[in-house]
Amino acid sequence: MKPLPRTVQWIGDLPGHVRLIDQTLLPTQVAYRDCKTVEEVWEAIRTLRVRGAPAIGVAAAMGVVVGIQSHTDPANYGKRLKEVADYLRTSRPTAVNLFWAIERMEKKASEPEALVKGVTRVLLAEALAIEEEDRRMCRAIGRIGADLVQEGQGILTHCNAGGLATAEYGTALAVMYTALEQGKQFRVFADETRPLLQGARLTAWELQQAGIDVTLICDNMAAQVMREGKIQLVVVGADRIAANGDTANKIGTYGVAVLARAHGIPFYVAAPSSTFDLAIKDGSQIPIEQRDPREITEGLGKVVAPAGVRVYNPAFDVTPAELIAGIITEKGLIQPVNEAAIRALLEG
Ligand code: MRU
């Protein structure tokens, strides 16, 4: 499989900067964007130049280094680090990987190793470790999830949980990439994913690049495609998974899970352990990002709604655990999905 362009990378040593593939330009342009200030990293996350829960975590960790690296006053280092971390935390609210990665960076700064080697140096090493670990977790998710793919199946996915959403390879799409490497024949249906079209712009592009048989459908066609018997498996990614398994993912995912249940099709979530938030009991506590109404009224580059119309634009929804057949993690498959099984795998 031809490797995709690197989603997020650190350029140079110290000082250095973040380079990311600008996903707002895909699929027509494959272009990189350099972020040399923490404000530029924040903007890239906020506007979805870099998006997808694990990739946001990697970008934020590198963003911490960008924000702190020119700070030379040791007396105020801690204060500046907190400012940078808190600022990056405001970029997007739902994907827990953002908060997980920033917290990891802050923790690292207070370890004794930081005093010996220099805090910024240790922070850069930690950001690179987060990127590398994500790459390894995605490979493991692919290996574990590929067992679920049977010869000749149709697989539906929603949004983009591919290489572009992670350090490399993806979560839900890793399952497909690994199945392909194993020589399995299958067909993928990609929901276009309104309003920002991550399915059409990113998933269809990624799968096409990889040589996977992909068919793009509008979100409202999924029920019909299932009824026609074209789908035997659904695999999606996640932005935050509560302790009981309730899963936040791109708006529309919950609807797909309901449809899958109605048609007797197994619905799986693929996510690394960094996407679990065991501090929250269930999905009702997951903050749901509300985005600009213009993504709906003029998101396709054309005004498609009357001026002044009231718009509701939640970017994510929560699929209840009871609709999820299993959660594919780098540590194994969680099945059935409940708090005991989640804690046993992640904490055991
Ligand atoms: O708004 P986005 O594009 O960041 O939303 C992304 C998703 O919902 C993905 O499915 C999720 O982050 C999993 S990525 C491996």
pLDDT tens for each residue of 103-115:
999 999 999 888 8
Mean pLDDT over 245-268 rounds to 99
If you measure from the C-alpha of residue 154 to the centroid of ligand 1, how many angstroms do you get, rounded to a whole number? 22
pLDDT tens for each residue of 115-150:
888 999 999 999 999 999 999 999 999 999 999 999
Q: Is residue 267 part of a domain?
A: yes
CATH of the domain at 95: 1.20.120.420
Q: Is residue 1 part of a domain?
A: no
239 is catalytic: yes
Ligand 1, pocket-test mutation among 22, 159, 276, 317, most atoms within 8 A of CB: 159
The per-residue pLDDT for 340 is: 98
Tokens describing residue 266: 């197994």
Residues 24 and 118 in one domain: yes
Ligand 1 touching residue 239 (CB < 6 A): yes
The active-site residue out of 239, 246, 277, 317 is: 239
Taking Cα atoms as reference points, which of 215, 212, 200, 208 lies closest to residue 175? 212
Residues 102 and 194 in one domain: no
Closest ligand 1 atom to Cα of 95: 12
Could you tell me the pLDDT band of residue 307, with boundaries at 50, 70 and 90? very high
Is it the case that residue 299 has pLDDT exceeding 90?
Answer: no
Interhelix angle 119-146/96-109, nearest 10 degrees: 140
d(CA 66, CA 57): 14
Is it the case that residue 1 has pLDDT exceeding 90?
Answer: no
Mean pLDDT over 235-260 rounds to 99
The per-residue pLDDT for 301 is: 84
pLDDT tens for each residue of 266-291:
999 999 999 999 999 999 999 999 99
| Number of H-type helices and E-type strands within the chain | 13, 14
**C-alpha triplet 150, 163, 16: angle, nearest 5°:** 160
If you measure from the C-alpha of residue 80 to the centroid of ligand 1, how many angstroms do you get, rounded to a whole number? 30
Closest ligand 1 atom to Cα of 53: 12
pLDDT tens for each residue of 188-202:
999 999 999 999 999
More confident residue, 300 or 109: 109
Closest ligand 1 atom to Cα of 171: 15
| Percentage of the residues of the chain whose pLDDT score is greater than 70 | 100
Ligand 1 touching residue 248 (CB < 6 A): no
Residues 265 and 340 in one domain: yes
Q: Is residue 3 part of a domain?
A: no
If you measure from the C-alpha of residue 284 to the centroid of ligand 1, how many angstroms do you get, rounded to a whole number? 19
Which residue has its alpha carbon closest to ligand 1 atom 6?
A: 52
Asked if 101 and 130 count as a contact pair (C-beta separation under 8 A), the reply is yes
Residues 109 and 204 in one domain: no
Asked if 191 and 157 count as a contact pair (C-beta separation under 8 A), the reply is yes
If you measure from the C-alpha of residue 172 to the centroid of ligand 1, how many angstroms do you get, rounded to a whole number? 11
Mean pLDDT over 211-240 rounds to 98
Domain interval for residue 169: 144-347
Residues 125 and 172 in one domain: no
Backbone angles phi, psi at 142, to 5 degrees: -60, -45
Is it the case that residue 222 has pLDDT exceeding 80?
Answer: yes
Residues 260 and 208 in one domain: yes
If you measure from the C-alpha of residue 166 to the centroid of ligand 1, how many angstroms do you get, rounded to a whole number? 9
Is it the case that residue 2 has pLDDT exceeding 80?
Answer: no
Mean pLDDT over 218-222 rounds to 98
Ligand 1, pocket-test mutation among 160, 191, 202, 235, most atoms within 8 A of CB: 160
Ligand 1 touching residue 238 (CB < 6 A): yes
Mean pLDDT over 289-303 rounds to 94
Closest ligand 1 atom to Cα of 270: 15
Taking Cα atoms as reference points, which of 33, 118, 92 lies closest to residue 126? 118
Mean pLDDT over 34-62 rounds to 98
Split into its structural domains, the chain has a count of 2
Closest ligand 1 atom to Cα of 166: 15
Residues 203 and 318 in one domain: yes
Residues 117 and 33 in one domain: yes
The per-residue pLDDT for 115 is: 81
pTM equals: 0.98
d(CA 322, CA 337): 7
Residues 200 and 319 in one domain: yes
Choosing from 110, 138, 166, the residue where a domain stops is 138
Ligand 1, pocket-test mutation among 205, 250, 329, most atoms within 8 A of CB: 250
Is it the case that residue 73 has pLDDT exceeding 90?
Answer: no
If you measure from the C-alpha of residue 45 to the centroid of ligand 1, how many angstroms do you get, rounded to a whole number? 12
